[in-house]
Structure 1
Amino acid sequence: MPDPIAVTITREHFDAPDGAALRQAQRDELDARYGRDDHEPGAKPTADSVPIFLVARTADGTAVGCGGLRPLPDGGAEIKRMFVHPSARGAGVSTAILRALEDEARGLGLDRLVLETGTAQPDAIRFYQREGYTPIPLFGPYVGSPLSLCFARALTP
C-alpha cells in the first residue's frame, strides 16, 4: 500500500482544466471497464448541476482527485464524478475528498448523501461501504440499470 499523500482540497469550477482532465481520465477508465457505449443513465453532470466541485492537489500542485455534489430535488445531494488518479490510490486521497464533500453537504444543511457506482467497480463498492455508505434501491435515472449500484449515508451534524 502506498504511503499516505498529503493533499489540499479546494472548491474549483466544474469546467476548470484540471477537473476536466480528471473527469476525462475517469471516463477513459470507465470506458475500459464497461465499453464505449453510454454507460451512465440520466443527465450528464454539468457546471450548472454540480455547483460544488472539489479538487485534491498534492504539495506540488498536481491535481490527483476530484468529486462533486449535485443537489437533488427531494433534498440531499448526489456525489458525482468522484475519482482519484491511479497513481494516488490507496494513499488516503479518496477518503479526504469524501470527507470534504460530506463537510460541504453539512455546510449546506443537508443530512443525507447518495451515490451511484457501477457493478464493475469492486474497489469503489468496498470503499463506500467501508466509509459508512449502505446499499439502497436504485434511484432516479438508475432505476432499472443493470450496471448500477446505489448507496446512501446519513450525515450527522
Structure 2
Amino acid sequence: MGVTIHRVDWEHADAVRLRAAQRRELDERYGSDDHEPGIIPSADDVPVFLVARDSAGEAMVCGGLRPLDEPDLGDAVAEIKRMYAAPEARGTGAAASLLRGLEDEARSLGIRRLVLETGTAQPDAVRFYTREGYAAIPLYGHYVGSALSLCFAKDLTV
C-alpha cells in the first residue's frame, strides 16, 4: 500500500474525522466518561498535525505534536497527541510511516525527545510504540496518578 504523509491544519476535515473516530473507539474501550487527564489538545497547542493517506488519497492515520514545558522530562520535548489509525489501516505500515513523519517534524523543530500517553485498555498501542522504539517511563504531567495511563518516550537523534 502506497502511503503519503501530509501536514494539515488541526481543523482540516480529515483530521477532524479521524479524531472523532478515535474518540468513539476510546469511548468503547473506556466508557464515555472523560477518560483523558489534562488539557484537551487544540489548534492552539498542537502546531504540527499529520495525516497519512493511502494510494487512493483516503486519510487513514493521524497524529500531532504538542511542545511541552515539563522540566522533569528535560529540554526540547514534545508530546505525541491524537495518534490514531483507522481499523482498516492497522497492520499496513501506515501508522509507522506517520510516526516517522512526526519524528522528522520534531527533529526539524529542534525537539530532542518525544513522549506520549496511551491507556491500559490499548495493548495494541503499547505493542506498536514499543516495537517503534518507545520505552515505558513514569507517568508525567497531568497523567501522574492516573490509573488508566501508560507513558512512553523516545530520544531522537539529530
- TM bucket normalised to smaller: over 0.9
Q: Deviations along 1:60-101, whole A, 9 cap, x unmatched?
A: 211101000000014310000000100111000110011000
Structure 2, unpaired ranges of 5+: 71-75
Q: Deviation digits for residues 110-145 of structure 1, max 9, x if unmatched?
A: 110000000000010011011110010000110000
In structure 2, distance between residues paired with 1:8 and 1:130? 21
Q: How far apart are the structure 1 equivalents of 2:151 and 2:96? A: 18
What is aligned with 2:33?
37
Structure 1 runs (4+) deviating above 3 angstroms are none
Q: CA RMSD in A?
A: 0.7
Q: Which residue of 2 aligns with 1:89?
A: 90
Query: What corresponds to 1:145 in structure 2?
Result: 146
TM-score, scaled to structure 1: 0.96
Moved more, 37-46 or 71-80: 71-80
How many Å apart are 1:59 and its aligned residue?
Answer: 1.8
**Structure 1 residue ranges without an equivalent (≥5):** none
Write the mapping of 1:6-21 to structure 2, written as runs, cut at 5 A. 6-21=2-17
Partners of 2:132 and 2:56 in 1: CA distance: 28
Structure 2: how far apart are the matches of 1:82 and 1:120? Answer: 15
- Tell me the equivalent position of 1:61: 57
Partner Cα separation in structure 1 for residue 157 and residue 132 of structure 2: 14
TM-score, length of structure 2 as denominator length? 0.95
In structure 1, the residue matched to 2:109 is 108
Q: How many Å separate the matches in 1 of 2:98 and 2:54?
A: 13
Q: Distance in 1 between matches of 2:81 and 2:120?
A: 16
Question: Which residue matches 1:123?
Answer: 124
